[in-house]
Amino acid sequence: MTGVMGVTRRPAIALALLALSLSGCREAFAGPTPDDLSTWSRTPLPPDARLAEQALNDSSCGAGFEGPGQIRVALQDRRTASAAAFFMTAPAHFGSCLLASGSGGGSSTNVVPSLHGSITVDEQGSGTVGNGHATTLGGLAAQGVAAVTVDLDDGSQVVASVGNGYWLSWWPLAAAAVRVTALDAAGGPAAVLEPSPDGWAEKGGTP
C-alpha cells in the first residue's frame, strides 16, 4: 500500500517538546474522473456540503475515530471543484484528511491540541495525490485571527481557510512552508511562525 498522508502532529500544549508521528497506510487517490489539480486555487473556494458529507462517510477520514455519528467537520479547505482537506473532530479525538476524485487519505490522534497564543501548527503532512504530491498545514487559531497566510520556499503564498477556531491549507506543489502569518481583523500581523528544530515557533514574538 502507498502511504498517502504521512502526518506529524505537534500538539500545541507541548509544541516545542513533543513530536507525535502518525503514518497511515492508504491507497493512492484514484477515481473514475481523476482530478489532476490543474485548477487548484491559492485562495480557498467556498465549502461544499457534498464534499463535507463525503468526508463524514469516508473510511480514511474517520479512521481512528470511535462511535458512529460523533464525528463532525470542524473546517473544510476546498481548492478545486472536487478536492478538499478537512479537520475532523470527535470527543477526545482530532484528525485530518484530504479528499480528491472521490477517494482520500488521512489520520487521527487522541492527542487533542490546545491553543496557546494566537495560532499553532498542529497538522503537517505530505503524500501522493494520484501521480502528484500534496502537503497539508494547519492548526488552531484564536478568536481574533481573521486570516492566515502560508509563505512557501518557492516565493509563493497560500491563503488558508479560517473558521471555528481552526486554520487549514494544502497545496499540490513541490514547495515547503517557511512562514505562517496570522492576521487580525485590521489586516495587521497577530503572530508569525517559522519552522525550527523543535517544530514551529513564533518569530521574535508579535512583529
Amino acid 111: pLDDT: 67
Amino acid 17: pLDDT: 17
Q: What are phi and psi of 172, to 5 degrees?
A: -95, 45
> Cα 200 vs. chain centroid, distance in angstroms?
15
* 145-189 pLDDT per residue, tens: 999 999 999 999 999 999 999 999 999 988 999 999 999 999 999
Distance CA 71, CA 106 (A): 14
Closest CA to 104 of 88, 91, 122: 88
pLDDT band with cut points at 50, 70 and 90 for residue 29: very low
pLDDT band with cut points at 50, 70 and 90 for residue 2: very low
Distance CA 34, CA 161 (A): 24
> C-alpha distances in angstroms, 40 versus 102, 166, 172, 182?
16, 21, 8, 22
Task: Please compute the mean of the pLDDT values over residues 132-150 and round it to a whole number.
Answer: 93
- With contact defined as beta carbons under 8 Å apart, do 113 and 11 qualify? yes
Distance CA 150, CA 171 (A): 10
Residue 23 has pLDDT above 60, yes or no: no
Domain boundaries, the chain: 6-29+40-202
